[in-house]
């Protein structure tokens, strides 16, 4: 019998790791912070985007990648979840994809070590921040085209990844379909993070009356670029419950999903949303 009875309250942790260029270093750091978060009471562990490894070559992302069935970071985290009896959001890892590209894929692993959902990043990071700093994720990554909701024993979870944060319609549709927690695992750049990270995450929480859980990598990327850190746990009223700051480690908070119901009753914007034309 696999089914367990969970309350609507649980402790969630964001693991704020630094970007590593290979599988082993990435997994070792993730496990280290995960152990510490569990000691602090975490029931669910969340990791950033490209937590299985990240480096850049020129303006392209070049993370280590592997087929899903043999990916060492996925295998290691599934085993850890099973042994520790914890849920894990794998923010994303690079999976071998079509057309000689990779998939920037997120997973939720249950406390039996089984995959219960997958999400391929829809909005790819193709931007030019300055003459010296540009990114073209679509050069190496095959984008997804399907929104994903995962139903857990605690509640309903909506998947997003990093640059998706700038597309509020995705968050709106996930929330209309029942998402109570919106995950935003990221490797947000330091430059854009300083300007927009906090306000965008708070806005997505406020607009949808949902918890936003946003684990973000911290530190320099091999090959160029730097991640912002400041992993966030935000309640449905838009209040920041925890901020990871600028050092590797973890943050964790007890959350109560009944706050989602109460907030959406107070401000029923999902129900009041109207179609319109021009």
Active centre residues (catalytic): 49, 121, 162
Residue that is written with structure tokens 């109207």 in the block: 274
Q: How far is CA 273 from CA 30, 162, 168, 200, in A?
A: 40, 25, 13, 20
Instruction: Tell me, rounded to whole angstroms, the distance of Cα 10 from its chain centroid.
Output: 18
Cβ-contact 158, 175 below 8 angstroms: yes
Count CA atoms within 13 Å of residue 229 on its CB side. Answer: 15
Rounded-to-integer distance, Cα 79 and Cα 42, Å: 17
- Report which secondary-structure segment, H or E, holds 68: none
Task: Return the DSSP state at 159.
Answer: E
- Report which secondary-structure segment, H or E, holds 72: helix 72-84
Rounded-to-integer distance, Cα 170 and Cα 177, Å: 11
Those residues with Cβ within 8 angstroms of residue 3's Cβ, 6 or more apart along the chain or in another chain: 153
């Amino acid at each position: 019998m696999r089914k367990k009875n969970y309350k609507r309250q649980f402790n969630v942790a964001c693991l704020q790791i630094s970007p590593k260029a290979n599988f082993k270093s990435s997994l070792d750091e993730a496990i280290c912070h995960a152990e510490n978060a569990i000691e602090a009471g975490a029931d669910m562990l969340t990791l950033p985007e490209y937590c299985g490894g990240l480096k850049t070559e020129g303006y392209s992302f070049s993370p280590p990648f592997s087929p899903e069935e043999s990916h060492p970071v996925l295998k290691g985290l599934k085993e850890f979840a099973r042994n520790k009896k914890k849920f894990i959001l794998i923010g994303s890892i690079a999976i071998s994809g079509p057309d000689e590209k990779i998939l920037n894929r997120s997973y939720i692993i249950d406390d039996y070590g089984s995959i219960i959902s997958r999400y391929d990043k829809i909005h790819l990071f193709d931007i030019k921040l300055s003459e010296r700093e540009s990114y073209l994720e679509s050069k190496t990554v095959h984008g997804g085209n399907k929104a994903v909701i995962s139903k857990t024993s605690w509640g309903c979870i909506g998947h997003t990844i990093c640059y998706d944060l700038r597309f509020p319609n995705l968050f709106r549709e996930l929330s209309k379909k029942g998402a109570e927690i919106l995950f935003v695992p990221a490797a947000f750049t330091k430059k854009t993070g300083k300007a927009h990270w906090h306000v965008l995450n708070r806005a997505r929480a406020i607009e949808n009356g949902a918890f936003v859980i946003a684990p973000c990598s911290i530190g320099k990327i091999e090959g160029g670029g730097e991640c912002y850190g400041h992993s966030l746990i935000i309640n449905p009223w838009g209040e920041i419950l925890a901020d990871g700051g600028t050092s590797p480690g973890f943050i964790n908070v007890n959350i109560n999903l009944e706050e989602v119901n109460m907030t959406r009753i107070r401000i029923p914007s999902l129900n009041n949303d109207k179609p319109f034309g021009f």
